[in-house]
Copies of this chain bind each other. A is one copy, B any other.
């Protein structure tokens, strides 16, 4: 069997990749970068999953103009400016930046990725002039992981080694940024996943998409989907090792860890809650109910208040437009039964048990609809005063 081992060091656990960051003045705190790069010694195969938002930002549209199956050796990432709703001019700005970069180093099909405020042109001059201060042979994963953050409060970095059946191993390492606008249909998030696995080009896209469906597409901070959401997978094939199931498992592990970090760092969030809906008539019903729970303002505020108010859970399920019946519904908080048709009112003892579950940083709300066999789990967080504070003051 294959084995997944955690590694310290983030992106620097992979040979052949370089990363550094610099502050060009978009972020007021000059000690943290706002422009970063990830460079590969050799051209990498690349796959991407982008936002479902119809107003895709300029970097996403720039990427999609490259010929199918292109290889890249350079990612440029910036925070604080999304380069979204900037039209053709926003795409031209990316070309201007890369044209200037090509005068310094050799790069192939460079990719840009941006996050931040919508509707402003990039400060191309400042970005270009900052190239002097970047070390294209540095391997500073920590600074790079920090440079891509916006309202995040901690860096998101994960790395692992996957040992495959019959010997041999490859590594997968990734960084991400998240925080707000996180919805089951992708999110205001960027994720950059590097590997030396010898994964065939034509399998990358479906594996990345499948991984996103089990991670980024199951988390919700506020139900909003941004213009810039991007997950990129790059491989330099350096290990020469590949095993499809092992790679799928490793990729899922890395993406799920990033997703949980994003949720834990959801704007103002104090808890991460898994919403497991089972006994549904269809997977689609289970998914609808789980996603509705993870997005409901009333559920999210009850989680913040640690109020064992299963009525809001039930009400949200009832309004999800799915097959359900109050005579077959059963709700658990972790292992504690909170609602069953034969036991509806929350007596003091069960309320106490429920309250203890809710005081944890993370727990599971399980809703067994009792009308079928399908299930789905979505992940959400609570809604606190700080969410309002962060988002009422975001731009000012």
Q: Which residues from chain A sit less than 8 Å from chain B, CB to CB? A: 51-55, 82, 84-87, 117-121, 180-181, 183, 185, 222-227, 295-298, 301-302, 304-305, 307, 309-312, 314-319, 321-327, 339, 341, 344-346, 383-385, 387-389, 391-396
CA–CA, A351 and B52, complex, Å:
29
Is the CB–CB distance between B87 and A297 below 8 Å?
no
Contact of A318 among B227, B295, B298, B388 (CB under 8 A): B227
Measured in the bound complex, the distance between the Cα atoms of B384 and A347 in whole Å is 33
Min Cβ gap A222→B in Å is 4
B344 and A393 contact, CB distance less than 8 A? no
Please report the C-alpha to C-alpha distance between residue A51 and residue B319 in the assembled complex, in whole angstroms: 9
Assembled-state Cα–Cα distance A345/B319 (Å)? 40
**Chain B residue at minimum C-beta to C-beta distance from A318:** B55
Out of B53, B87, B315, which one reaches A118, CB within 8 Å? Answer: B315
Q: Which of A120, A222, A223 lies at the interface centre, i.e. has the most chain B CB atoms within 10 A of its CB?
A: A223
Q: Which residue on B lies nearest to A346, using beta carbons?
A: B119
Q: Cβ of B180 and Cβ of A298 under 8 Å apart?
A: yes
Q: Which residues of B contact A120 (CB under 8 A)?
A: 345
- Which B residues touch A344, using CB under 8 A? 85-87, 119
- Contact B55–A324 (Cβ < 8 Å): yes
Q: Which 10 A-B pairs have the closest CB atoms?
A: A118-B311, A305-B392, A55-B318, A301-B391, A225-B319, A53-B318, A222-B297, A54-B318, A53-B319, A119-B311
7 A-B residue pairs with Cβ-Cβ distance under 8 Å, sorted by A, are A54-B325, A85-B339, A119-B314, A222-B298, A226-B315, A298-B391, A301-B391
- CB-CB under 8 A for A309 and B395, given A85-B339, A304-B388: yes
Q: Is the CB of A87 within 8 A of B396?
A: no
Bound-state CA distance A311–B150 (Å) is 16
- Give the distance in Å from the alpha carbon of A396 to the alpha carbon of B308 in the complex: 10
Chain B residues lying within 8 Å of A312, measured Cβ to Cβ, are: 118, 224
Q: A51 — nearest CB in chain B belongs to which residue? A: B319
* Contacting residues, chain B, for A86 (C-beta < 8 A): 344
A289 vs chain B, min Cβ distance (A): 10
The contact of A319 among B224, B324, B326, B392, by CB within 8 Å, is B224
Find A311's partner among B117, B339, B345 (CB 8 Å cutoff). Answer: B117
| Nearest-Cβ distance from residue A86 to partner chain B, whole angstroms | 6
CB atoms of B388 and A315 under 8 A apart? no
Tell me which residues across on chain B come within 8 A of A324, comparing CB atoms.
Answer: 54-55
Smallest CB–CB gap between A28 and chain B, Å?
A: 17
20 further interface pairs, Cβ-Cβ under 8 Å (given A85-B339, A302-B394, A385-B388): A51-B319, A53-B319, A54-B317, A84-B314, A87-B344, A118-B309, A119-B311, A119-B345, A120-B345, A222-B297, A224-B298, A227-B315, A297-B391, A304-B388, A304-B392, A305-B396, A307-B392, A307-B393, A307-B395, A385-B385
